[in-house]
A = this chain, B = another copy of it.
Amino acid sequence: MSRSDAQANRAKILVVAEEVFGAGGEGASTEEVARRAGVGIATVFRHYPTKAALLEAVLTERFTRLAGRAKAEAGAQDPGRAFFDFFAYMVADSASKIAIAEALAEAGGALDGPAAVASRELHDTVGVLLAQAQAAGAVRTDVDLPEVYALLIGASRAAYAGVGPEVRDRSLKIIFDGLATRP
């Protein structure tokens, strides 16, 4: 059993790290995380032995949360709406999370460990949403998961740039029009 103050610190570090890496990308420093969490540097490294481990913990947390949200949508009564809603949600959510978008971009390749598992889970759940939306006639049946996922990644990364919410939404609308079945 670990001490309760240690558990609290561990949790706080995770939360702060998500903010810090979200704002500054992978380049943000561990000291910044420690400072903003109100702990010493050593405490961060005690809980997460390397910077990579900390980043992995952040990503795992985030992928898992997104996958959970996607799964919840997967039960919806309107699969078309569910698909497009989740797409828009994830893009908007990534707007302040560079690290996530960066990691997503890498995810095809090099990730390993728990984060890779969580990433795959997210990927697969988006696949389910897509299949359901296609079955319901809301999304063209001649598009496949790889290109849809690529669009999702691209829109997420673009969303981080100086692009405001209005432009982001208009961009999404164009993508959605490209994905939707023709009336």
* A contact residues vs B (CB 8 Å cutoff): 27, 104-109, 143-144, 146-148, 150-151, 153-155, 157-163, 167-168, 170-171, 173-179, 182
Contact = CB atoms under 8 A, between A and B. Distances in A.
Given A170-B146, A175-B178, A176-B178, A161 B151 contact: no
A181 B109 CA distance: 36
Contacts of A146: 163, 167, 170
B163 A108 contact: yes
Contacts of A154: 154-155, 157-159, 171
Counting from the closest, the 3 A-B pairs by CB-CB distance are: A154-B158, A178-B178, A108-B162
Contact of A157 (B106, B148, B158): B158
11 contacts: A27-B27, A108-B161, A108-B162, A147-B171, A150-B161, A151-B171, A153-B158, A158-B158, A175-B175, A176-B178, A178-B178
